[in-house]
């Protein structure tokens, strides 16, 4: 099959090889094989390509060279293992496998795939699984929001025009929450269209002057010093904040002693395993988490580090919201698989408004 592979870490232009003779993956008993029609680019792909998370991803069994990246898949099931009962050959599905989506075929656990929404294209669908499940884990699993309790709650979403942010804003509005979105001037119109109640243009306004007594903050930027030592160009989003601690800024707009929660998807956990190796990095991460959670508790706040979690039940709910038009994919640019270098380079400009999609035909 055709796949975009790297044999070493480095700049996109130096390391990507578009190969046409990579073996097609064989599904295990609990896996399905997808004829992959489209995928999308996530900042973590670019970061991992340049060396971020080697120790972490390798320990999870995803990170050894040569590697085919890609966290979003959409297409037809062409083979399945004997234990998969929820899906059939011929089903059109979408999923966020841990790796391997920059390829014509990709395998994923049957329990992690869901039927594709019927009303949108493969490319539109492939823009969603990884960012949607990242937002879902942070907002639902960690912050405890549900369709029944979100109404009227005040949530702040920075980096709101990016993949995770644009999905989070739409999900929260669908559930009746009051959403304050933070973005730069060029993204204000987009974020307003997504339905945000309050839009803060961080190039002109300090959100702390405008937002008070919020219930939840989802941090898509992180603390700058957590990424300063990293031998990679990945910095979370923290280079936007001019040396300030974005986590502290977000926490300052939350209600005290009233069940408010700060959730970050930009924790230093993976960066610490880069710096100190897997065991020591994880030990330091746990210590750091405990200290920060204790400080937040002292200030009357909940505190969580959140990580993407594969969840087919959530993908099923999200598919229904896409079919009803409650949530719409936000796509900036579309590339072909043989333009993967350009797609990565565009992601690295950090200018994407919504998602960068790659069609695989």
Q: Which residues bind ligand NAP (CB under 6 A)?
A: 42-44, 131, 134, 159, 161-165, 183-184, 187, 220, 236-237, 239-240, 265-266, 306-308, 350, 352-353
* Least distance CB 26 / ligand NAP (angstroms): 28
Instruction: Considering the complex, state which of residue 255 and residue 328 has its C-beta at the smaller distance from ligand NAP.
Output: 328
Q: Which position's Cβ is nearest ligand NAP?
A: 162
Q: How many CB atoms lie within 10 A of CB 23?
A: 8
Residue 121 has what DSSP assignment?
-
* Least distance CB 309 / ligand NAP (angstroms): 8
Distance CA 198, CA 56 (A): 38
Distances from the Cα of 259 to the Cα of 145, 148, 153, 262, 295, angstroms: 12, 17, 11, 10, 15
**Sign of torsion, CA 233 293 56 62?**
negative
Distance CA 304, CA 314 (A): 20
Instruction: Considering the complex, state which of residue 104 and residue 332 has its C-beta at the smaller distance from ligand NAP.
Output: 332
Could you give the 3-state DSSP secondary structure of residue 259? coil
Distance CA 101, CA 317 (A): 23
Instruction: Considering the complex, state which of residue 33 and residue 221 has its C-beta at the smaller distance from ligand NAP.
Output: 221
Instruction: Considering the complex, state which of residue 33 and residue 266 has its C-beta at the smaller distance from ligand NAP.
Output: 266
Q: Write b or e for each residue in 317-348: b if 16 or more Cβ atoms lie within 10 A of its Cβ, otherwise e.
A: bbbebbeeeebbbbbbbbbebebbbebbebbb
Tokens of 290: 């405990």
* Least distance CB 165 / ligand NAP (angstroms): 5
* Least distance CB 84 / ligand NAP (angstroms): 25
Instruction: Considering the complex, state which of residue 15 and residue 41 has its C-beta at the smaller distance from ligand NAP.
Output: 41
* Least distance CB 187 / ligand NAP (angstroms): 4
* Least distance CB 223 / ligand NAP (angstroms): 12
Instruction: Considering the complex, state which of residue 106 and residue 266 has its C-beta at the smaller distance from ligand NAP.
Output: 266
């Amino acid at each position: 099959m055709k796949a975009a592979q790297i044999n070493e870490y480095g700049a996109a232009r130096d390391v990507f090889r578009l190969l046409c003779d990579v073996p097609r993956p064989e599904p295990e008993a609990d896996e399905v094989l997808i004829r992959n029609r489209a995928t999308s680019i996530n900042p973590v792909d670019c970061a991992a390509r340049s060396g971020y998370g080697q120790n972490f991803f390798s320990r999870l069994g995803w990170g050894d060279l040569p590697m085919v990246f890609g966290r979003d898949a959409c297409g037809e099931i062409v083979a399945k293992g004997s234990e998969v009962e929820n899906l059939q050959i011929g089903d059109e599905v979408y999923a966020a496998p841990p790796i391997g989506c920059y390829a014509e075929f990709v395998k994923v656990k049957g329990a992690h795939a869901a039927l594709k929404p019927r009303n949108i294209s493969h490319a539109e669908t492939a823009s969603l699984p990884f960012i949607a499940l990242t937002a879902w884990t942070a907002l639902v699993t960690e912050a405890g929001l549900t369709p029944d309790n979100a109404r009227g709650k005040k949530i702040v979403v920075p980096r709101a025009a990016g993949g995770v942010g644009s999905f989070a804003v739409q999900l929260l509005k669908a559930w009746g929450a009051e959403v304050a979105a933070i973005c730069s001037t060029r993204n204000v119109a987009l974020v307003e269209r997504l339905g945000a109640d309050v839009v803060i243009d961080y190039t002109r306004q300090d959100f702390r002057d405008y937002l008070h007594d919020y219930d939840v903050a989802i941090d898509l930027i992180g603390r700058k010093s957590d990424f300063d030592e990293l031998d990679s160009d990945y910095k979370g989003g923290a280079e936007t904040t001019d040396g300030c601690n974005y986590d502290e800024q977000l926490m300052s707009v939350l209600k005290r002693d009233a069940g408010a929660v700060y959730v970050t998807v930009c924790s230093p956990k993976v960066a610490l395993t880069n710096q100190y190796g897997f065991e020591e990095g994880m030990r330091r991460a746990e210590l750091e988490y405990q200290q920060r959670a204790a400080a937040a508790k002292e200030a009357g706040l909940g505190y969580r580090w959140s990580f993407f979690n594969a969840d087919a039940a959530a993908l099923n709910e999200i598919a229904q919201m896409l079919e009803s038009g409650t949530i719409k994919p936000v796509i900036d640019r579309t590339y072909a698989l043989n333009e993967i270098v350009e797609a990565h380079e565009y992601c690295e400009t950090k200018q994407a408004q919504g998602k960068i999609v790659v069609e695989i035909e």
